């Protein structure tokens, strides 16, 4: 900018403009002697030829090369005089004169730019910034002049203007910061430049962010300025955000990362970086610094709320150091370590890392310690929480040694200590320890050892009493533990639930609460696993409204009423509900079972479940329920009494006698609700459809239910006819041939033997050589009962003599 025109318009008053014009310095015009005849530009390295003509060195050298390339002798470009020599003589005097002229003009331009930086006309400010930048790039002298003439504060003020001016100001400041002299760079830091750079990082302009990051990067190389960067609110946050940005260019992201690396020398920045997710500086100090620094870092870490990614990072880098702090050192350090480890253990994937770091030993030692060395209760609760989280993560703990005696977490001594502490401490710690035991009990390999420990410690009643604990977590965890133990100690739990007061009702109430949770599923499964033949328990459950509660919840599930909860536990919950309902089909022919089963029409319910549910366990239990109920039908089906209609005169008798339809199977009045008749309930078709199910247990239960149509009917032939009408004969023959299980084979052989007693069926089956072969195999390889029935079947087919009597039943 060699001249400055007076603006034609703007907000500046005429008097202000006059003052500004007086401050402007006039630049000297270009002298002709300064211009190269070839380039018409001011020469920087003037040289003289033998004829005293002066040119810019690079220009005349290029001229001589062109002459040589064209096969012409070298001549002077101006005079066209042939030159004897192409030697060049530096014109030192002219060069110095030009440099002095340039320096005077550059100084004047910088002074003029300083004047116009405060202009209210945007274009004047832009031109000034462009001039300052180009002049500073031009020479080191101009940089020094710009720094010492008060330009830096004025350039920083431009960071408050519009975007174009801000970008140019950032570029210009970066040019001034490009020096190895820290004192000169600090001059920029003394202004509001750093704060405005941080503001620029929050703006939308990518170009502005790039320039701001570049300037901050240069400033962050100075230790004293790092403190100022860290002191600005939001600086660490936006730098960390930029490091993870996908919208900024790679160079900007790398510089942001380097800035943060430079800032790590500031102690204050370590906490702020950790709070904003950059954990490496803190972890490096935690792992490799002095005890005092490690304690401070652990304290900071214990106060942070970590993301899942952060938990993984801390576990991978700092778990070993935290475990060592847990093993030794002051109580404050152990407390910080426990709090950190508790948060890390909350992430399932960290379980293996923490176990690998050796956490189980010091953790159990702190839990079981007594006397002066024991931890305060609040810290024991944290330790118990960590242990619960680790066990819940699914890590294989059977081979992990936790003490000098070689015990593991599932050793008898350890389990005894866990049970003893759970039964003799506060509810908060008990809740976590019972959660540990419940997680161990969910492992097929650990549940057996835990069962032995529970019995040896006499802890069954205590665990049952936890069902009425006021603390919800303790109650929920005890339900889960008892559920996992119930398949192995159902009788003991049934006895305990009968003799204690209120616990059975508590479990039933838990099943009936809103939603579908893990605790509800565990409660339902617990009750369904208790001994089915326990009449007293069944009566107690009826008194607690267990049947009506289970039916209500099952109905809500089928109608989609229940929305709160998670589908994760839905199948388990359904299995528990159906299993609980199933027990009310097991206890002989008594009003204990029959009355409620009739009242709630369980035959229709099981038939519906068989056709609508995809859950294999639910299908299997539904078929079993139908089998159990169908076995009562003969006893419940009654021949209706014929009322004698008489009159003095028969002619007064009016109307026809009402005929009552009788069940062809049971020879009496039947219904699905009152007599559990499978034919009336429409259950035969669904049961036959299950005979080709992939799951053997479903097939076994369905075939058992079907067998009642023949074995428990008044007319076996009618039962076979019902089966034929439902296309059930062929699937049974296929089952016999497939021999998927011994129970299936025995049921199939029994039904086939009944079919063979019907002449028409015998003729049809005798022609099926595969069936005959299957009967022979059953006769040869089946269990004792199967062989007896197979023998009778083969006798009916005349395959063995009727007098063989090998397995014939005793007459």
What span, in angstroms and rounded, lies between the C-alpha atoms of 602 and 594?
Answer: 10
For residues 212 and 197, is the Cβ–Cβ distance under 8 A?
yes
Span 199-224, pLDDT tens digits: 999 998 999 999 999 999 999 999 88
**DSSP β-bridge partners for residue 90:** 47
What span, in angstroms and rounded, lies between the C-alpha atoms of 122 and 721?
Answer: 102
**DSSP β-bridge partners for residue 333:** none
117: pLDDT strictly greater than 60: yes
244 domain-assigned: yes
441 domain-assigned: no
> What integer pLDDT is reported at residue 190 of this predicted model?
87
| Domain tally, the chain | 3
> What integer pLDDT is reported at residue 7 of this predicted model?
39
- Around 617, how many Cα atoms within 13 Å sit in the side-chain half-sphere? 14
Instruction: Give the distance from CA 273 to its chain's centroid.
Output: 25
Three-state secondary structure of 420-464: HHHHCCCHHHHHHHHHHHHHHHCCCCCHHHHHHHHHHHCCHHHHH
> What integer pLDDT is reported at residue 647 of this predicted model?
47
Structure-model confidence comparison of residues 787 and 106, the more confident one: 787
Structure-model confidence comparison of residues 621 and 567, the more confident one: 621
What span, in angstroms and rounded, lies between the C-alpha atoms of 582 and 603?
Answer: 11
What span, in angstroms and rounded, lies between the C-alpha atoms of 501 and 440?
Answer: 28
679 and 746: one domain? yes
159 and 98: one domain? no
133: pLDDT strictly greater than 60: yes
What span, in angstroms and rounded, lies between the C-alpha atoms of 402 and 359?
Answer: 9
Q: What is the mean pLDDT of residues 378-384?
A: 96
> What integer pLDDT is reported at residue 5 of this predicted model?
35
762 and 671: one domain? yes
- Residue 705 neighbours by CB distance under 10 Å: 27
Which CA distances in Å does 733 have to 63, 604, 744, 748, 781? 109, 28, 11, 7, 18
> What integer pLDDT is reported at residue 576 of this predicted model?
97
Confidence of residue 2 (pLDDT cuts 50, 70, 90): very low
**DSSP β-bridge partners for residue 82:** 75
**Helix/strand number for the chain, H first, E second:** 46, 3
Three-state secondary structure of 718-768: HHHHHHHHCCCHHHHHHHHHHCCCHHHHHHHHHHHHHHCCCHHHHHHHHCC
> What integer pLDDT is reported at residue 227 of this predicted model?
92
Domain assignment of residue 43, given as a range: 11-116
Which strands sit side by side in the sheet containing 89-90, from one edge to the other?
Answer: 54-56, 46-48, 89-90
What span, in angstroms and rounded, lies between the C-alpha atoms of 727 and 691?
Answer: 11
What span, in angstroms and rounded, lies between the C-alpha atoms of 439 and 133?
Answer: 69
Exposure string of 715-737, with b = 16+ CB inside 10 Å and e = fewer, is ebbbbbbbbeebebbebbbebbb
**DSSP β-bridge partners for residue 565:** 516
Span 704-747, pLDDT tens digits: 999 999 987 778 888 899 999 999 999 999 999 998 899 999 99
User: Cα-flanking dihedrals φ and ψ of residue 110, to 5°?
Assistant: -65, -40
Residue 805: both structure tokens together:
């009597």
267 and 140: one domain? yes
> What integer pLDDT is reported at residue 805 of this predicted model?
54
Instruction: Give the distance from CA 177 to its chain's centroid.
Output: 47
> What integer pLDDT is reported at residue 21 of this predicted model?
54
Whose tokens are 């034609």? That residue is 8
121 domain-assigned: yes
Burial of 172 (0-12, 13-18, 19+ CB in 10 A): buried
Whose tokens are 């019902």? That residue is 722
> Average pLDDT over the chain, rounded to whole?
88
Structure-model confidence comparison of residues 217 and 593, the more confident one: 217
808: pLDDT strictly greater than 90: no
3: pLDDT strictly greater than 60: no
Which CA distances in Å does 38 have to 42, 72, 76? 11, 18, 11
Helix, coil or strand: residue 669: strand
Q: Which secondary structure element, helix H or strand E, spans residue 48, and what is its range?
A: strand 46-48
594: pLDDT strictly greater than 90: no
698: pLDDT strictly greater than 60: yes
For residues 346 and 311, is the Cβ–Cβ distance under 8 A?
yes
What span, in angstroms and rounded, lies between the C-alpha atoms of 473 and 30?
Answer: 90
CATH number, residue 21: 3.30.40.10
Which CA distances in Å does 579 have to 160, 478, 530, 574, 608? 74, 20, 10, 8, 15
What span, in angstroms and rounded, lies between the C-alpha atoms of 286 and 281?
Answer: 9
- Residue 578 neighbours by CB distance under 10 Å: 26
174 and 233: one domain? yes
102 and 205: one domain? no
What span, in angstroms and rounded, lies between the C-alpha atoms of 577 and 527?
Answer: 9
77 domain-assigned: yes
Which residues make Cβ contacts (< 8 Å) with residue 604, sequence separation at least 6? 672, 673, 681
412 domain-assigned: no
What span, in angstroms and rounded, lies between the C-alpha atoms of 261 and 228?
Answer: 15
Span 152-198, pLDDT tens digits: 999 999 999 999 999 999 999 998 888 767 777 888 888 999 999 99
Q: In 3-state terms, the chain is what percent helix, strand and coil (to 5)?
A: 65, 0, 30
21 domain-assigned: yes
Boundary residue ending a domain (245, 278, 311): 278
514 domain-assigned: no
Among candidate residues 150, 142, 152, the one with its CA nearest the CA of residue 173: 152
771 and 690: one domain? yes
60 and 110: one domain? yes
Burial of 124 (0-12, 13-18, 19+ CB in 10 A): buried
- Residue 3 neighbours by CB distance under 10 Å: 8
What span, in angstroms and rounded, lies between the C-alpha atoms of 562 and 554?
Answer: 10
121 and 97: one domain? no
Q: Where are the beta strands (DSSP E) in 290-335?
A: none
CATH number, residue 170: 1.25.10.10
Structure-model confidence comparison of residues 539 and 667, the more confident one: 539
For CA atoms 664, 668, 671, 673, the dihedral sign is negative
> What integer pLDDT is reported at residue 652 of this predicted model?
45
Question: What percentage of the chain has pLDDT greater than the value 70?
Answer: 91
68 and 197: one domain? no
Instruction: Give the distance from CA 608 to its chain's centroid.
Output: 36
Confidence of residue 147 (pLDDT cuts 50, 70, 90): confident
For CA atoms 534, 535, 541, 547, the dihedral sign is positive
Among candidate residues 538, 446, 518, the one with its CA nearest the CA of residue 488: 446
770 domain-assigned: yes
126 and 108: one domain? no
For residues 489 and 450, is the Cβ–Cβ distance under 8 A?
no
User: Cα-flanking dihedrals φ and ψ of residue 46, to 5°?
Assistant: -70, 140
Boundary residue ending a domain (82, 116, 150): 116
Which residues make Cβ contacts (< 8 Å) with residue 540, sequence separation at least 6? 497, 498, 504
Boundary residue ending a domain (219, 254, 278): 278
Residue 104: both structure tokens together:
């005077």
Among candidate residues 459, 521, 470, 524, the one with its CA nearest the CA of residue 493: 459
> What integer pLDDT is reported at residue 9 of this predicted model?
40
Span 14-29, pLDDT tens digits: 455 555 555 676 677 8
- Residue 613 neighbours by CB distance under 10 Å: 18
What span, in angstroms and rounded, lies between the C-alpha atoms of 150 and 308?
Answer: 50
110 and 127: one domain? no
> What integer pLDDT is reported at residue 653 of this predicted model?
45
| Residues shown for the chain | 811
For residues 479 and 464, is the Cβ–Cβ distance under 8 A?
no
What span, in angstroms and rounded, lies between the C-alpha atoms of 488 and 501?
Answer: 23
DSSP alpha helix (H) spans, 117-149: 122-138, 140-148
Select, from the ranges 44-58, 235-249, 667-681, the one with the highest average predicted confidence (pLDDT): 44-58
567: pLDDT strictly greater than 80: no
What span, in angstroms and rounded, lies between the C-alpha atoms of 35 and 95?
Answer: 11
640: pLDDT strictly greater than 80: no
Q: Which secondary structure element, helix H or strand E, spans residue 499, and what is its range?
A: helix 490-499
């Amino acid at each position: 900018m060699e001249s400055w025109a007076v603006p034609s318009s703007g907000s500046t008053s005429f008097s202000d403009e006059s003052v500004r014009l007086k401050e402007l310095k006039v630049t000297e015009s270009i002298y002709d002697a300064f211009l190269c005849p070839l380039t018409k530009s001011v020469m920087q390295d003037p040289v003289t030829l033998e004829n005293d003509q002066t040119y810019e060195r690079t220009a005349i050298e290029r001229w001589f090369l062109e002459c040589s390339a064209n096969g012409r002798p070298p001549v002077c470009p101006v005079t066209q005089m042939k030159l004897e020599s192409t030697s060049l003589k530096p014109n030192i005097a002219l060069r110095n004169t030009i440099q002095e002229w340039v320096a005077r003009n550059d100084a004047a331009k910088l002074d003029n730019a300083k004047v116009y930086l405060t202009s209210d006309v945007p274009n004047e400010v832009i031109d000034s910034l462009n001039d300052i930048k180009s002049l500073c790039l031009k020479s080191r002298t101009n940089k020094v002049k710009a720094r010492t003439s008060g330009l830096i504060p004025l350039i920083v003020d431009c960071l408050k203007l519009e975007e174009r001016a801000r970008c140019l100001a950032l570029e210009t400041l970066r040019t001034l910061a490009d020096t190895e002299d820290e004192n000169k760079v600090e001059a920029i830091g003394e202004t509001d430049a750093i704060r405005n750079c941080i503001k620029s990082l929050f703006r939308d302009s990518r170009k502005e962010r790039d320039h701001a990051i570049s300037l901050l990067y240069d400033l962050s190389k100075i230790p004293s300025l790092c403190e100022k960067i860290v002191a600005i609110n939001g600086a660490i946050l936006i730098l960390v955000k930029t490091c993870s940005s996908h919208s900024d260019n790679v160079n900007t992201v790398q510089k942001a990362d380097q800035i943060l690396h430079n800032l790590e020398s500031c102690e204050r920045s370590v906490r702020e970086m950790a709070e904003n997710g950059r954990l490496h500086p803190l972890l490096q100090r935690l792992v490799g610094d002095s005890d005092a620094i490690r304690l401070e870092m652990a304290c900071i870490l214990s106060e942070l709320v970590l993301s899942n990614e952060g938990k993984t990072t801390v576990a991978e880098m700092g778990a070993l150091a935290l475990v060592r702090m847990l093993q030794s050192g002051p109580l404050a350090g152990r407390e910080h370590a426990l709090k950190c480890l508790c948060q890390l253990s909350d992430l399932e994937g960290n379980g293996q890392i923490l176990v690998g770091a050796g956490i189980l030993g010091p953790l159990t030692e702190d839990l079981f310690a007594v006397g002066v060395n024991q931890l305060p209760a609040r810290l024991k609760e944290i330790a118990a929480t960590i242990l619960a989280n680790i066990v819940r993560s699914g890590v294989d703990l059977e081979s992990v040694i936790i003490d000098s005696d070689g015990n593991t977490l599932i050793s008898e001594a350890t389990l005894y200590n866990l049970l003893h502490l759970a039964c003799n401490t506060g509810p908060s710690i008990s809740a976590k320890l019972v959660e540990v035991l419940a997680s161990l009990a969910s492992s097929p390999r650990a549940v057996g050892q835990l069962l032995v420990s529970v019995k040896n410690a006499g802890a069954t009643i205590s665990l049952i009493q936890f069902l009425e604990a006021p603390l919800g977590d303790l109650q929920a965890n005890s339900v889960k533990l008892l559920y996992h133990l119930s398949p192995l100690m159902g009788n003991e739990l049934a006895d305990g639930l009968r003799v204690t007061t209120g616990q059975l009702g508590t479990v039933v109430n838990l099943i009936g609460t809103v939603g579908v949770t893990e605790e509800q599923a565990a409660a339902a499964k617990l009750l369904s696993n208790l001994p089915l033949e326990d009449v007293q328990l069944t009566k107690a459950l009826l008194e607690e409204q267990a049947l009506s509660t289970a039916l209500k919840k099952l109905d809500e599930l089928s109608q989609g009423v229940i929305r709160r909860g998670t589908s994760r536990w839905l199948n388990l919950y359904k299995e528990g509900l159906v299993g609980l309902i199933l027990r009310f089909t097991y206890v002989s022919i008594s009003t204990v079972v029959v009355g409620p089963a009739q009242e709630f029409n369980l035959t229709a319910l099981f038939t519906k479940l068989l056709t609508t549910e995809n859950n294999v366990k639910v299908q299997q239990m539904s078929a079993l329920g139908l089998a159990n109920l169908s076995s009562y039908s003969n006893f419940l089906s009654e021949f209706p009494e014929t009322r004698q209609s008489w009159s003095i005169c028969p002619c007064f008798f009016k109307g026809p006698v009402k005929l009552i339809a009788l069940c062809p199977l049971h020879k009496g009045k039947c219904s699905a609700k009152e007599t559990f008749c499978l034919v009336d309930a429409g259950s035969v078709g669904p049961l036959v459809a299950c005979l080709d199910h992939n799951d053997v247990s479903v097939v076994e239960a369905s075939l058992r239910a079907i067998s009642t149509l023949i074995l428990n009917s008044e007319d076996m032939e009618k039962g076979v006819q019902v089966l034929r009408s439902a296309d059930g004969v062929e699937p049974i023959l296929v089952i016999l041939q497939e021999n998927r299980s011994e129970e299936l084979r025995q049921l199939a052989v029994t039904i086939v033997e009944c079919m063979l007693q019907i002449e028409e069926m015998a003729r049809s089956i005798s022609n099926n050589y595969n069936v005959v072969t299957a009967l022979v195999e059953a006769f040869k390889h089946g269990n004792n009962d199967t062989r007896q029935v197979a023998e009778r079947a083969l006798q009916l087919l005349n395959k063995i003599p009727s007098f063989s009597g090998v397995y014939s039943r005793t007459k």
